[in-house]
Amino acid sequence: MISESTYVKRAEVIAQNEESAVADFAENVRQPDMAGVIFFCSADYDLDRLSLALGEQFTCPVIGCTTAGEIGSTYQHGGIVGFSLSSEMFRIHTSVIDPLIDFNPLAAKKLASDLEANLQFSESLDSNKMFGLLLIDGLSCMEEQTVASLFNSFAGIPIIGGSAGDSLKFEETRVYVEGRFRTGAAIFSIIETHLPFKTFKLQHFEPSNMDMVITGADPSRRIVTEIDGAPAASEYAEIIGLEIDKLTPQVFSTHPVMLQIGNDWYVRSIEKVNEDGSLTFFCAIDDGLPLPVAKGVGFVDTLKKQVEQIEEEFSNIEFTLGCDCILRRLEILESGEKPEVEEQLNKINFIGFSTFGEQFNSIHVNQTLTGVVVGKLD
């Protein structure tokens, strides 16, 4: 059961008409003196009409993006979910990165300097008093460079983020800021708060003993041409014990690969087999990387442990904002575990969206839930 929040008002709307959807959404999230509104919406809306309606309803800062499905008290599709934040406890400072193709470390440093100058609860960037939220075009293939540049420029402030979706069309994804939807762009926001918070990364995979090494890759196109010196698709199929014609999206979702960075493991997912026998990934893959195939360790069990840890740490949860991979959504729909997952998410006042990719600090990942919990410590 979603519990009442003091400084956050949330909404979940399913409506085909853009004006009605935004009116219902605004009615539910409106509160006195709003610091800003964050929303996630279906890409099936007429986005021009939706942006016009949003502009008519709100005078405070509003940011959002299109999704591969919205997540509130339930996994919904074809609507809007989101929330407003009270200015008593929050400030939102937003920068537009448009076009993404021009963003680089130097631009990230300038962005950090500009945002730092506008802080209101602190005099300087402070990882204990603020966190970053990145919403980015999910078809840009620019997530790796963007989030790495941001994290390196923002003095270790924790960052979570999600790549916008368009259901499962893979045609065009958009982010919303300054009154309009944009493609080929990103929104980076620093959210200051007087409340305690904690960011987290959750995945339900661990490395197996099935190892492989990338021996041919084009990272800019996220394509792997060779694994262990052999054509990528056939070698991957042999490693997991299948014929190449049996490689399906379902196989890829249950047999991703993993990359070790420091002491942590991160999931790298495969999108498809190409006609030339190469593999396209959802993340950039570099030549020479050792990548063990992952094995699942229980979706609901790992989520339940994370929720229990959050509940032990926080006596009250204002909200949990989460960016959750579309492949995780597809997995629970197929397994029939959706009710159990929704039950766990409601315990932590979860709201977010199904993504085409996730960001955590400096890393772009797949098949992962990245999030931030805001509330009062126990």
pLDDT recorded at residue 47: 97
Place of tokens 């932590």: 348
pLDDT at position 354 over 80: yes
Q: What is the pLDDT of residues 230-256, one digit of tens each?
A: 999 999 999 999 999 999 988 998 999
Mean pLDDT value of segment 298-324: 97
By C-alpha distance, which of 331, 323, 211 is closest to 259? Answer: 211
Write out pLDDT tens, residues 252-275.
989 999 999 989 999 999 999 999
**Residue range 199-210: average pLDDT?**
96
Structure-block tokens of residue 140: 């840009």
159-163 and 130-136 as β-strands: parallel, antiparallel, unpaired? parallel
Strand ranges in 249-357 using DSSP code E only, listed in sequence order: 257-261, 264-268, 270-273, 279-281, 294-296, 314-325, 350-355
Cβ neighbours around 159 below 10 Å, total? 23
Average pLDDT of span 38-63:
97
Percent of the chain with pLDDT over 70: 99
Can you read off the two tokens belonging to residue 172? 């065009």
pLDDT value of residue 16: 80
Domain with CATH 2.40.30 in the chain: 205-296
**In contact, 68 and 162? CB cutoff 8 Å:** no
Residue 168's pLDDT is what? 87
Mean pLDDT of the chain: 96
The answer to whether the Cα torsion of 202, 204, 207, 212 is positive or negative is negative
Is residue 99 reached through a cis peptide bond, with omega within 30 degrees of 0 on the bond before it? yes
The average pLDDT across 355-367 equals 97
- Helix 18-29 vs helix 47-57: angle between axes, to the nearest 10 degrees? 30
- Give the mean model confidence (pLDDT) for residues 98-108: 97
CATH topology of domain 205-296: Elongation Factor Tu (Ef-tu); domain 3 (2.40.30)
Amino acid 1: pLDDT: 59
Q: Is the pLDDT of residue 378 over 80?
A: no
35, 54 contact by CB (below 8 A)? no
Query: What is the pTM for the complete model shown?
Result: 0.95
Residue 353's pLDDT is 98
- Give the phi and the psi of residue 159 in degrees, each rounded to 5: -125, 135
Read off the DSSP letter of residue 79.
E
Cβ(202)–Cβ(373) under 8 Å? no
The tens digit of pLDDT for each residue in 138-186 reads 999 999 999 999 999 998 999 999 999 999 899 999 999 999 999 999 9
